[in-house]
Structure 1
Amino acid sequence: MDRETSTSYDVLERLLLDESAEPTSLPLSLLQYVTNHFSLDNQIGSGGFAVVYKGMVGKGMVAVKKLSNTFGLHENKFHEEVKCLINAKHKNIVRFLGYCAETQGKMQKFEGKLVMADQRNWLLCFEYVCKGSLDKHITDATCGLNWRERYQIIKGITEGLLFLHEMRILHLDLKPANILLDGQMVPKIADFGLSRCLDFDQTRAITENLSGTLGYMDPEYLRSRQIAFASDIYSLGVIIMEILTGTKQYLDDDYVVESWMNRLDASEGRMQLEQVRVCSKIGIECMNLDPKKRPVARHIIDRLDKTTSADYSEEICIGSSSFELQISLPREQFGERIEKLGAESLQKTDVKEHSILEDVAERLEWLHMQESQLKVGQLPLWGVQDMKEKVNRHRANNSSSICTGFSEKNILDIFNTKTRSNFDRNDRRKSHFINIFRKEELLPIVRSSNQIGTGSFSGVYKGFVGNALVVVKTLLSGNMLEINMLENEVIVQSQIVHKNIAWLIGCCLEMENLMLVYEFLSRGSLYDILHSSSKVPLNLDVRLNIIEESAHGLAYLHSQAHTKIVHSDIKTASILLDEKFVPKISGFGVSRLITRDNEHAESVIGDMNYMDPVYLQTGLLTEKSDVYSFGIVILEIISRKKVSHSNNSLVKCFVE
């Protein structure tokens, strides 16, 4: 070790011991020394633009991030990252120790000649965080981190983000892979490679190049290239939902709470139930497609703090176009307030309002029951049963109004209201009528023993109606987004008759939640066939036939259907296969019936891994958006590699 390296080694060792010390410039020779010249044995991580090495400094450890691809990366970008890191000092942000920015001349061959070229060495040095990144710890609610750990992680991430925003720093790449956990499972936000420091009076900025991680990137940023504090809030919402459920998708808060029931500590069950629900609501609000409707970090922290108090209140929002009310009361007063609301609202004529009140009553009754099972102590919910009976009697007297409101869609004349004869899956009707099923026909199918899958918003069941084997899809809850998607699916599929489109046989309107009935396709989804642990052998001819037949179905949607249809969520999970491997496109919940003046989408919904960049940037939805997604499907079928695998993008790898 030479003198310069020895001196800087002492400086770095003191930095590790003194948490108040400022980050400093570090020589390349030192970082080479502590990492054993960046040996493979010391490598602990890698990404698209950097490799991370573990380094030994005395009895302590550091993490050294070495930018591996500096060609084409502007020097100002590195300076911006260093500036953000120097300002980011917080217990929930990985501690920044120092940086190296040295340029060396190196002889290299260029067009057959040796030339002297500048080699830029850009490195960053951090504290070593022993538990690694959060993505390695996230599982569903049935195993892995307990609730206390997950709650503290959510709160810690939010506190770190609040500090960044108060310092006018946008992270712009928040995701579990960029959140590290120390020995006490304290989360620390890391990787500021895409960060931006805003001026004091600046709240947003426009970027020239889109960068980030699909699935966590704000759709508004993808559409308009405008970055703001709300961009980080969207990413936080996705992370919260992933911590709660193990997946990045939107799920109703009742479903999330129910999934945690068996794991919660009985001694603190009431408070933990409320924490789960509040975190789920926060996650959903953060993912609102309208940035103006997302909460700010300070508001989120305040709500999380309230749930740690034993004497907490619950806030329930009841709303419709003509009826809005917000309740924020101690739990023991809920029953009295709901009974009063029920009595008052029965004077109104809107059945939807009574249905909303009934949902609130059922939710309170459910919470009461769960608390009783957890032996937390029963709370009086006076009048709930009485109010429910009043609402039910009123709804019985107004039976012409189907509770889902879906019967209004019959103005499209898509329902077959005549007596339904037995249908034959091999003799598909050429009309667009949707068969109406009675609930008595479908309820025996919708049992846990018949469940064959779960979608983003729905449960999927297999069973017989008469002699026909069918699939029944039913909502997991009555969330309006879910209802709208299923209703949209009925409307779109009523316009479709094609051998490569999954057949929607009918639906049931008598239930609280809409039920859809489809033909049963024995091979399941193309995604499962390509990527499940027990892969199904597919020779090249079969794969090419799947591609060709799927293309026929897509072409039909775009040019041969009664109205042009853009699917807008084409992916291998949306392509089902029958016993002969004939593909059939499904999943029309976010599809659009396109007219010339109706091509701009108000919101971006779908799987980001397959989404057309032009659609993301402009909101312009055309058949070319589907064609882009289908191109990715072709790559996936040919390679049998997932769209996102081992932190790599299939599209990016293919282009390279």
Structure 2
Amino acid sequence: MDLQIATPKISGFYAATKTEVAGGSAIYAIAQCVETATEANCLTCLQIGYNNLQSCLPSAEGRAYDAGCFMRYSTTPFFADNQTIDITPFFKQGGSSKKWAIIIGGVVGGVVALLALFAWRWSRKSKGVPRGDILGATELKGPVNYKYNDLKTATKNFSTEYKLGEGGFGAVYKGTLKNGKVVAVKKLVMGKSSKMEDDFEGEVKLISNVHHRNLVRLLGCCIKGRERILVYEYMANSSLDKFIFGSRRGSLNWKQRYHIILGTARGLAYLHEEFHVSIIHRDIKTANILLDDDLQPKIADFGLARLLPGDRSHLSTKFAGTLGYTAPEYAMHGQLSEKADTYSYGIVVLEIISGQKSTDVKNDEVDEYLLRRSWKLHERGLHLELVDKAIDPNEYDVEEVKKIIEIALLCTQASAATRPTMSEVVSLLKSKSLLEHLRPSMPVFVETNIAPRESDTSSSNATTSISVVSAR
């Protein structure tokens, strides 16, 4: 009830509280609105959410979500105590001291909001105006529908000169729209399945309403025949792999690397636990982490795996490099959960710290891949030998680096159940204490052997052997 009132007044439209109750227990609660909403729209949405939560009682867990907001309470903690904020300054009349006035106001406000909502829906329906939101409950706009010819002109007919890269989901081009805005234009790869065509618009509406400072913003889309095109905000500094392994290798200092590690964790935590639909990325790697002008990380391609046709897979031989990041239970058995992203994140963290690719062999004699090398150094207490030599030793705290390496190893444990959630990872990264109470168990990694068929030596006819190898 308090969050419903305070959250619209807080910058970023997000708040989390822990409320002590009789008997020594506590109620944990969060509320959030999308950042594109106005304060009034946020309040209206949360009033509806608050009223919907009443149907969850007396359950000890409740969630209510709308296209523009999300609320959750639980008697079990689902975020760390140090993530709470004091919301009392945002009450005009002293917080919840006037409890009954707030309850009555909330109920009346919710009824008024519902009546206004029904009236708005009816007026929209009677006028034949299409809905612009996901679930039809708020006035949030859907993605922009771009004209094919405008995107064609913006990218000089999808010229190779403007090509930024290519991956499992298709090629990406730099484009300049008529109004001068620079965007990234992704032409999706279409399979034979019609599923992508059927689900495309609904999924794009969902993805376009995901707003977080560590996630690349989807601006809109274009449908032209069988072609499906997505338009994203443009990231001038390209992808993280360029800074870790590529042309700009060694240019990131420790502070910048730490902020990238933390920001990426925050983006994944939002996808997994804070957006009203849990989104598993499935393909976290340095190439899918883009950097803005301030070198802040933004995760790209989230939600696209839901659009991938059934006859294609980013685990095929064409994209075998991704297997260096893939959780063993997902690669071997197709068992998918948020913990698959956690594993991939752990690999990315080790790459950021070491400057070594996950699939590169450091020692030719023993096939010492990055994860195996990291684990052996951890067992021997030689964590610092993993640190990229391009990082100035005077820039970082030794214990902090050791802690982050151990967090990465917690994320890559063989058992998915023992890996932390991404919100727990964020808490661990922000905590000043060491991980004396947490000891990572030995990880495993996915190894691939790609060999051409005897009849043809082309890469397109290569066969792939996938195996899971322990870190010993």
Question: Size of the alignment, in residue pairs?
Answer: 291
One-letter amino acid of the structure 2 residue matched with residue 25 of structure 1: N
C-alpha displacement of 1:79: 4.3
Partner of 1:214: 323
Partner of 2:227: 121
Q: 1:191 aligns with which of 297, 301, 304?
A: 301
Once structures 1 and 2 are overlaid, which stretch shifts more, 88-97 or 34-43?
34-43
Distance 1:139 1:255, change over 3 A: farther
Partner of 2:217: 95
C-alpha displacement of 1:87: 2.9
Whether 1:145 and 2:252 are equivalent positions in the alignment is yes
Partner of 1:56: 176
C-alpha displacement of 1:608: 2.5
Confirm or deny: 8 A CA contact 2:414 2:441 kept in the other structure: no
Confirm or deny: 8 A CA contact 1:78 1:193 kept in the other structure: no
Distance 1:209 1:60, change over 3 A: closer
C-alpha displacement of 1:94: 0.7
Partner of 2:431: 306
CA distances 1:191-243 after superposition (whole Å, capped 9, x unpaired) = 1364349xxxxxxxxx9986443121221123332211111111111111111
Partner of 2:236: 130
Distance 1:35 1:194, change over 3 A: closer
- Aligned ranges 1:428-577 → 2 under 5 Å: none
Structure 2 unpaired stretches of 5+: 1-139, 316-321, 359-369, 465-472
Q: 2:406 aligns with which of 268, 272, 281?
A: 281
C-alpha displacement of 1:30: 1.9
Residues of 2 paired with 1:127 and 1:649: CA distance?
36
Distance 1:160 1:267, change over 3 A: same
Confirm or deny: 8 A CA contact 1:84 1:196 kept in the other structure: no
Q: 1:161 aligns with which of 268, 280, 285?
A: 268
One-letter amino acid of the structure 2 residue matched with residue 609 of structure 1: T
Residues of 2 paired with 1:93 and 1:649: CA distance?
36
Residues of 2 paired with 1:606 and 1:262: CA distance?
25
- Counterpart secondary structure, 2:423: helix
- Counterpart secondary structure, 2:213: coil
C-alpha displacement of 1:259: 4.1
C-alpha displacement of 1:131: 1.1
One-letter amino acid of the structure 1 residue matched with residue 267 of structure 2: G
C-alpha displacement of 1:125: 0.3
Partner of 2:48: none
Residues of 2 paired with 1:47 and 1:135: CA distance?
14
Distance 1:211 1:139, change over 3 A: closer
C-alpha displacement of 1:150: 1.0
Partner of 1:384: none
Residues of 2 paired with 1:649 and 1:301: CA distance?
42
Confirm or deny: 8 A CA contact 1:244 1:256 kept in the other structure: no
C-alpha displacement of 1:182: 1.4
CA distances 1:349-397 after superposition (whole Å, capped 9, x unpaired) = xxxxxxxxxxxxxxxxxxxxxxxxxxxxxxxxxxxxxxxxxxxxxxxxx
Whether 1:260 and 2:380 are equivalent positions in the alignment is no
Normalising by the residue count of structure 1, what TM-score does the alignment of the two structures yield? Answer: 0.40
Confirm or deny: 8 A CA contact 1:208 1:225 kept in the other structure: no
One-letter amino acid of the structure 2 residue matched with residue 177 of structure 1: A
Confirm or deny: 8 A CA contact 2:143 2:219 kept in the other structure: yes
Distance 1:52 1:211, change over 3 A: closer
Partner of 1:346: none
One-letter amino acid of the structure 2 residue matched with residue 216 of structure 1: Y
Residues of 1 paired with 2:407 and 2:269: CA distance?
15
One-letter amino acid of the structure 1 residue matched with residue 160 of structure 2: L
C-alpha displacement of 1:83: 4.0
C-alpha displacement of 1:295: 0.4
C-alpha displacement of 1:260: 3.5
Residues of 2 paired with 1:125 and 1:480: CA distance?
42
CA distances 1:73-96 after superposition (whole Å, capped 9, x unpaired) = 632453465144223211111111
Partner of 2:349: 240
Distance 1:209 1:136, change over 3 A: same
Confirm or deny: 8 A CA contact 1:133 1:176 kept in the other structure: yes
Structure 1 unpaired stretches of 5+: 1-19, 104-119, 198-206, 308-312, 320-478, 482-602, 611-631
Percent identity (aligned): 34
Confirm or deny: 8 A CA contact 2:342 2:419 kept in the other structure: yes
Distance 1:77 1:216, change over 3 A: farther
- Counterpart secondary structure, 1:158: helix
- Counterpart secondary structure, 1:100: strand
One-letter amino acid of the structure 2 residue matched with residue 297 of structure 1: M
- Counterpart secondary structure, 1:226: coil
Confirm or deny: 8 A CA contact 1:159 1:301 kept in the other structure: yes
C-alpha displacement of 1:185: 1.0
Residues of 2 paired with 1:76 and 1:229: CA distance?
26
Distance 1:264 1:228, change over 3 A: same
Q: 2:149 aligns with which of 29, 32, 48?
A: 29
- Counterpart secondary structure, 1:137: helix
Residues of 2 paired with 1:227 and 1:80: CA distance?
22
Q: 2:166 aligns with which of 27, 46, 65?
A: 46
One-letter amino acid of the structure 2 residue matched with residue 170 of structure 1: I
Distance 1:634 1:230, change over 3 A: same
RCO greater where, 1 or 2, for CA within 8 Å and sep 6 or more? 2
Residues of 2 paired with 1:149 and 1:138: CA distance?
12
Q: 1:316 aligns with which of 436, 454, 458?
A: 436
C-alpha displacement of 1:265: 5.5
C-alpha displacement of 1:183: 1.7
Partner of 2:292: 182
Distance 1:77 1:294, change over 3 A: farther
Residues of 1 paired with 2:181 and 2:347: CA distance?
34
Residues of 1 paired with 2:243 and 2:345: CA distance?
17
Distance 1:59 1:171, change over 3 A: same
Distance 1:649 1:160, change over 3 A: farther
Distance 1:209 1:46, change over 3 A: closer
Distance 1:649 1:260, change over 3 A: farther
Residues of 2 paired with 1:633 and 1:49: CA distance?
24
Distance 1:606 1:260, change over 3 A: closer
Partner of 2:337: 228
C-alpha displacement of 1:177: 1.2
Residues of 1 paired with 2:294 and 2:412: CA distance?
29
- Counterpart secondary structure, 2:161: helix
Distance 1:133 1:650, change over 3 A: farther
Residues of 1 paired with 2:338 and 2:312: CA distance?
18
Q: What RMSD over aligned residues (CA atoms) do the two structures have, in Å?
A: 3.4
- Counterpart secondary structure, 1:122: strand
Partner of 1:453: none
Confirm or deny: 8 A CA contact 2:351 2:357 kept in the other structure: yes
Residues of 1 paired with 2:287 and 2:295: CA distance?
15
Residues of 1 paired with 2:175 and 2:289: CA distance?
20
C-alpha displacement of 1:29: 2.1
